[in-house]
Amino acid sequence: MTRYDVTMTNTTINSTLPQQLQALQGNWSFPTAISFGVGTIRQLPAACREEGINKPLLVTDAGLARLDFVTELIDNNQQAGLETSLFCDVKPNPTGGNVEAGVQAYQQGQHDGVIALGGGSALDAAKAIALMVGQDRPMWDFEDVGDNWLRVNPDGIAPLIAIPTTAGTGSEVGRASVIVDEARQRKIIIFHPGMLANRVIADPALTTGLPAQLTAATGMDAFVHSLEAYCATGFHPMADGIALQAMTLISKWLPLAFSEGDNLEARSHMLAASMMGAVAFQKGLGAVHALAHPLGALYDKHHGLLNAIVLPYVLQHNRPAIEDKLIHIARVLELDDVSFEGFLRWILQLRQSLQIPDDLQSIDINTEQSELIGEMASQDPSAADNPVVLSAQQYSALFEIAAKGHTIG
């Protein structure tokens, strides 16, 4: 077995099988090695050595690069004989230009591996840089469409150690990066199984510095990953189980991580849950992400915040297809009101307690580009997994409802 043994596609399904058995097929992959726990960051120099990295490029964002602990990490590495350089030219929604600049820094510094440190933006940029340091084709050729990923030269991918500093995207356990193509103003998903980190160091202490608003937005992103994965079409009972447990953890610990940022117990559970959400969404996502992606590309707003605002409107739209599943989630979360309405009300209360606004106009998104957003959402890869198929017009209409807001529940 190699890391790339995921070539079995659904086209290999035996079409002579009875329909109920044809539905029970999928490609499952959960192989990331994770060192989890407070203090595990101290394992970084040893982890570099184990992965054969002697001259790492540390990729992070400019905000984190200014913090003392990043300087300390680099000093520790230098003391261990690992010549480490810093690259921090990464936008909140990382761009193709950021990745190109990172590849250049990697090659000029003759690095032999990448340390990805940060939230989703820095991790996604770093994973794309590690992918692109040894490829001949432009990155957009590896957009997650069909079997484009087979165009990648897997031997050209640099080894990567991922260190999350937020509990949300779970990008540290994912095999894809979301990168903005500035020319087309689109968020593009770049995918290859070899983009999976060789090692994850998940130290909850690194997430205590996250401000409350970002804790809320990233935590809601993790929740939406789990919820959309659980409701997505497709057969993946392992992902379903992981998604349910992630939602249980988030429902219990996100409010505490939000109100008590230094609570390491809450931060630990949230960091675990965010990775679980990302593992679960191998199964798929849905219309919340299909809308959040174009909104992020066009308005440069926080991804988790967009998801959290759009979520209840999408749930209402999807209701006929997901009501039973939401009732089950309500039961698992031990909500007082085990019903669709009860679940929706609980989401609204959670959102309010995290000071997340009810509509998109509250974060300066108006309906001017409604048609374009509907078009982009309907073409977003996440749209394919939504339990209800929406046309571009339906996405536009849904977006307008989320923009203006209306009373729910």
Q: By the criterion CB under 5 A, which residues form the site for Zn ion? A: 221
Tell me whether residue 51 or residue 124 sits nearer to Zn ion (CB atom).
124
Query: To the nearest whole angstrom, how small is the minimum distance from the Cβ of residue 133 to Zn ion?
Result: 26
Q: Which residues does 336 contact at the CB level (< 8 Å), separation at least 6? A: 342
Tell me whether residue 203 or residue 221 sits nearer to Zn ion (CB atom).
221
3-state secondary structure of 34: strand
The amino acid occupying position 124 is D
In angstroms and rounded to an integer, the radius of gyration of the C-alpha atoms of the chain is: 21
Query: To the nearest whole angstrom, how small is the minimum distance from the Cβ of residue 236 to Zn ion?
Result: 18
Structure-token pair, residue 195 = 């983009």
Q: Which residues does 154 contact at the CB level (< 8 Å), separation at least 6? A: 3, 4, 192, 194
Query: To the nearest whole angstrom, how small is the minimum distance from the Cβ of residue 226 to Zn ion?
Result: 10
Contact 326, 275 (CB under 8 A): no
Tell me whether residue 100 or residue 143 sits nearer to Zn ion (CB atom).
143
Q: Among all chains, which residue has been given the structure tokens 């079997």?
A: 147
Tell me whether residue 172 or residue 221 sits nearer to Zn ion (CB atom).
221
Tell me whether residue 61 or residue 221 sits nearer to Zn ion (CB atom).
221
- Which segments of 182-247 are extended strands (E)? 186-191, 199-202
Q: How far are the Cα atoms of 33, 110, 112, 287 from residue 106, in angstroms, in the given order?
A: 24, 6, 8, 37
The amino acid occupying position 76 is N
Closest CA to 166 of 78, 63, 238, 75: 63
Tell me whether residue 53 or residue 220 sits nearer to Zn ion (CB atom).
220
Query: To the nearest whole angstrom, how small is the minimum distance from the Cβ of residue 128 to Zn ion?
Result: 17
Closest CA to 280 of 205, 330, 230: 230
Query: To the nearest whole angstrom, how small is the minimum distance from the Cβ of residue 381 to Zn ion?
Result: 13
Tell me whether residue 221 or residue 385 sits nearer to Zn ion (CB atom).
221
Tell me whether residue 199 or residue 289 sits nearer to Zn ion (CB atom).
289
Structure-token pair, residue 312 = 């209840």
Tell me whether residue 305 or residue 326 sits nearer to Zn ion (CB atom).
305
Query: To the nearest whole angstrom, how small is the minimum distance from the Cβ of residue 380 to Zn ion?
Result: 12
Query: To the nearest whole angstrom, how small is the minimum distance from the Cβ of residue 137 to Zn ion?
Result: 27
In degrees rounded to 5, what are phi and psi of residue 187?
-90, 125
Spatial separation of the C-alpha atoms in residues 123 and 274, rounded to whole Å? 14
Closest CA to 194 of 282, 255, 260, 132: 132
Query: To the nearest whole angstrom, how small is the minimum distance from the Cβ of residue 196 to Zn ion?
Result: 18
Tell me whether residue 199 or residue 302 sits nearer to Zn ion (CB atom).
302
Query: To the nearest whole angstrom, how small is the minimum distance from the Cβ of residue 289 to Zn ion?
Result: 6
Query: To the nearest whole angstrom, how small is the minimum distance from the Cβ of residue 307 to Zn ion?
Result: 6
Residue nearest to Zn ion (CB): 221
Rounded to the nearest angstrom, the gap between the alpha carbon of residue 366 and the centroid of all alpha carbons in its chain is: 25
Spatial separation of the C-alpha atoms in residues 34 and 43, rounded to whole Å? 12
Q: How far are the Cα atoms of 81, 110, 207, 345, 379 from residue 57, in angstroms, in the given order?
A: 14, 9, 22, 46, 35
Report CA dihedral (18, 326, 296, 403) to the nearest 10 degrees: 120
